[in-house]
Amino acid sequence: MSRAPEEIDLDFVPSWGANGSRKIPQLPPSLKTWASTQKKISTLLYFSDDAAEGLTDALTHHLPRVPKIGLTASSTPFITGRPYTLYESGAFHSSGAIGVALTADPKGTIMVETDSLEAIGSPMKVTSSASNMIYTLDGMSAVSILVKHVPDLERDQHDAASKPALLGLLDANGKVCRTFSISAGSPSRGALLLDGEWAPGNGTTVQFLIHRNEDKNSLRYLSSSVPTPEIRALCIPNEESLPHQSSLDGSDPDNGIMIDGRFIMASESGFSMDDGLSQPGLAGIWQCTTPHVAASLKIPH
């Protein structure tokens, strides 16, 4: 079945109520007509600046069952003179978001890839969390457990040999389905502050993670073709960029390289995704800023 793309302009910001509470933004006009019949939107793909909270709130609220994946654009002040550079319908934009809606079934499927990470310690249950903070794991101080498993955290943060710890949310099969950077920990309160708008909810299973010493290179995401067309979003560290095609084995530097069925997009600003499935402990669209973590959107024929 053919899949009809619908261009969407997602340039808007969240509004606030009189009491300071955050109001749910409305969908952009080009998507409002589809909101009442979600089955007509099978998948969303978008590109945004780094202030897409209004967009993600609206998509989470109005289109919770639609798989969605978005790339947060890299900043471009020294390249184009704009903080961000988005191009749509012959015009450049410095902020906002643009995207495409696929409007034919079946829906796309999204998988998170965390091969560059390794687990430390054992899986634990979240027993107390609020907002983007986790207070206790298995009934014990989250910070004390982290320090026990990752002694490197007690070292100078500027020591390049120390590994930053992450928190992984596990799905029903014990596979990491989300990752969260740990921004800070308060030993006095025993709380972990996560880099994001929400933390895994009470009763969910999590595990601490660190990056492997080896295989921290984005080349592996470019190495082979795939049988099912897919779009892959990749978060890369600031010091790395996707390699030139001539660095790939078997490529022709004069004619480039062809990887059938795969479109790869990468940014040091990360990506956002929501698989459109109802899973315990998830609070909408997840923003990934963990280097070398990827998400693949497979699009059925």
CA-to-CA separations, 154 to 151, 159, 191, in angstroms, rounded: 6, 11, 16
Percent residues over pLDDT 70 in the chain: 70
Q: Residue 148 falls within a domain, yes or no?
A: yes
Nearest by Cα to 212 from 292, 288, 152, 155: 292
Tokens coding 156: 């100078």
DSSP state for residue 56 in the 8-state scheme: H
Which range is least confidently modeled, 40-44, 114-118, 254-258? 254-258
Question: How many Cβ atoms sit within 10 Å of the Cβ of residue 201?
Answer: 15
Nearest by Cα to 9 from 36, 28, 34: 28
Give me the mean pLDDT over the 108-116 stretch: 89
Q: Residue 133 falls within a domain, yes or no?
A: yes
Q: Residue 57 falls within a domain, yes or no?
A: no
Task: Check residue 157 and give its pLDDT.
Answer: 45
Band (pLDDT 50/70/90 cuts) for residue 67 is very high
Compute the CA torsion angle 70, 72, 77, 82 (nearest 10 deg).
40
Residue partners of 171: CB distance under 8 A and separation at least 6: 177, 279
Q: Residue 69 falls within a domain, yes or no?
A: no
- Between 54 and 178, the more confident residue is 178
Q: How many domains does the chain fold into?
A: 1
Q: Distance between CA 192 and CA 185 in Å, rounded?
A: 5
CATH number at 184 reads 2.40.10
Q: Residue 256 falls within a domain, yes or no?
A: no
Task: Check residue 63 and give its pLDDT.
Answer: 86
Instruction: Indicate whether 114 pLDDT > 60.
Output: yes
Domain that holds residue 135: 117-211
pTM for the whole structure:
0.77
Task: Check residue 161 and give its pLDDT.
Answer: 44
Q: Residue 58 falls within a domain, yes or no?
A: no
Surface-to-core class of residue 87, CB atoms within 10 Å of its CB (0-12 exposed, 13-18 middle, 19+ buried)? exposed
Task: Check residue 158 and give its pLDDT.
Answer: 44
Q: Residue 121 falls within a domain, yes or no?
A: yes
Please state, rounded to an integer, the average pLDDT across all residues of the chain. 77
Q: Residue 202 falls within a domain, yes or no?
A: yes
